[in-house]
């Protein structure tokens, strides 16, 4: 099949990974994919064009930038319409972004199926930002509801995100929950810890290492993880904490490490995504302590693919990914004592760690991978089940 793939992103960070992996998966399934958007096909690192666009966004006042976003929607309508005539796609795959009604409108006008991928309620998210709040808030929300409703079908990454979209007017049953995936070949089990990397990080290979990967932001709940690790250290357990990443919360994190008197905490700073698997291989257990209510944390699926026992909060978005007691352990959201208890149980039982890790890997191989997602999208759009 021919698939016209549209995104209006800079193609970096987690969004870039998602875009690249879905395009790769479509092509591995034998589909021809043409990509349109500000930076077109996305690579592993920011391009000159994406860097320029990012700088432009920072320099322009919010209201002016939002008008430019609306102008882009008009451009997207005409560009998509042209590509429909030239490429003659069987369907369009569109990554949702604020204010962009153009791609969905073009699909409707040209009577072509379109699957809309929604990763976040962006109108809500941007209206709550402290530094860059939406100026045309009501318009953004209206376009979000219209776009998600008028796509042939809308794919969302979590159950809470589906429920939120239905609460703002998207028809019940129109959205399909499809959590994020991973490339099982890139993230694979590795039971041997890299001794040289341990030495570089100052980690003892025999130490029980609790790990986290990602951008360091307040809403990731790393304060909970630090307090839980402090409890284990207070019980005399030989526990290290490895935090792989960097971000605006790092200063607060390091202050808390000092306050808690933790000596076995390492923060790596920024690590390229292709290097992340070797750091995960050092983990004895991987934790995602918290996330925004609608997120489908890609890090969790990467941990699972690596065969690591995972500990996550018992919230609906995480439960879309894991099966509690089968391939992961869960704790009450925000409960440090429960988190510490889960980590303690894994510390004391290598057998439990092994069993959870093996089941986690099995779920990734059979369901939580990009090729499964791409295959499901193709089925939805071809076999008639795309209609609500």
In order of their start, the domains of the chain are: 2-181+369-382 (3.40.50.2000), 195-366 (3.40.50.2000)
For the cut 50, the answer to whether the pLDDT of residue 385 exceeds it is no
Q: What is the largest CA-CA distance in the chain?
A: 68
For the cut 70, the answer to whether the pLDDT of residue 237 exceeds it is yes
Query: In this structure, are residues 288 and 315 in contact, taking their beta carbons and an 8 Å threshold?
Result: no
User: What are the percentages of helix, strand and coil residues in the chain, rounded to 5?
Assistant: 50, 15, 35
Query: In this structure, are residues 318 and 245 in contact, taking their beta carbons and an 8 Å threshold?
Result: no
Residue 6: predicted pLDDT: 97
Residues whose CB falls within 8 Å of the CB of residue 50, separated by 6 or more in sequence, listed in order: 10, 11, 12, 38, 39
For the cut 90, the answer to whether the pLDDT of residue 54 exceeds it is no
Please tell me the pTM assigned to this model: 0.92
Q: 222 falls in which pLDDT band (50, 70, 90)?
A: very high
Q: What is the pLDDT of residues 275-290, one digit of tens each?
A: 999 999 999 999 999 9
> How many CB atoms lie under 10 A from the CB of residue 121?
24
Per-chain mean pLDDT for the chain: 93
Residue 41: predicted pLDDT: 82
Instruction: Tell me the C-alpha distance between 57 and 66, whole Å.
Output: 10
For the cut 90, the answer to whether the pLDDT of residue 340 exceeds it is yes
Instruction: Tell me the C-alpha distance between 273 and 151, whole Å.
Output: 32
């Amino acid at each position: 099949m021919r698939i016209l793939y549209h995104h209006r992103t800079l193609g970096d960070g987690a969004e870039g990974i998602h875009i690249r992996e879905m395009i790769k998966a479509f092509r591995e399934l034998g589909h021809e994919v043409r990509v349109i958007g500000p930076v077109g096909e996305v690579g592993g690192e920011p391009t000159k064009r994406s860097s320029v666009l990012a700088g432009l966004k920072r320099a322009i006042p919010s209201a002016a930038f939002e008008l430019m976003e609306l102008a882009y929607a008009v451009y997207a309508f005409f560009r998509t319409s042209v590509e429909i005539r030239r490429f003659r796609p069987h369907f369009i795959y569109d990554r949702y972004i604020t204010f962009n009604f153009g791609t969905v409108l073009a699909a409707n006008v040209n009577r072509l199926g379109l699957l809309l991928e929604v990763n976040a309620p962006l109108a809500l998210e941007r209206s709550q930002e402290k530094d860059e709040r939406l100026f045309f808030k009501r318009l953004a929300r209206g376009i979000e509801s219209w776009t998600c409703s008028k796509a042939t079908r809308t794919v969302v990454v979590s159950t809470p995100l589906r429920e939120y979209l239905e609460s703002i007017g998207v028809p019940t049953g129109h959205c399909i929950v499809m959590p994020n995936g991973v490339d099982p070949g890139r993230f694979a089990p590795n039971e041997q810890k890299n001794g040289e990397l341990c030495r570089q990080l100052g980690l003892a290979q025999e130490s029980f290492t609790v790990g986290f990967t990602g951008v360091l932001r307040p809403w990731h709940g790393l304060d909970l993880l630090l307090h839980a690790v402090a409890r284990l250290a207070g019980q005399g357990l030989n526990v290290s904490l490895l935090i792989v990443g960097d971000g605006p919360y790092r200063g607060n994190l390091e202050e808390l490490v000092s306050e808690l008197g933790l000596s076995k905490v390492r923060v790596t700073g920024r690590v390229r995504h292709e290097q992340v698997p070797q750091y995960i291989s050092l983990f004895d257990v991987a934790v995602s302590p918290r996330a925004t209510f609608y997120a489908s944390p890609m890090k969790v699926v990467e941990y699972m693919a690596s065969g690591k026992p995972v500990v996550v909060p018992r919230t609906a978005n995480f439960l879309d990914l894991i099966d509690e007691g089968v391939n992961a352990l869960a704790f009450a959201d925000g409960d440090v004592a429960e988190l510490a208890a889960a980590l303690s149980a894994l510390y004391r039982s290598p057998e439990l760690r092994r069993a959870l890790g093996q089941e986690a890997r099995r779920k990734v191989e059979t369901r939580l991978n990009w090729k499964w997602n791409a295959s499901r999208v193709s089925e939805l759009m071809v076999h008639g089940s795309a209609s609500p």
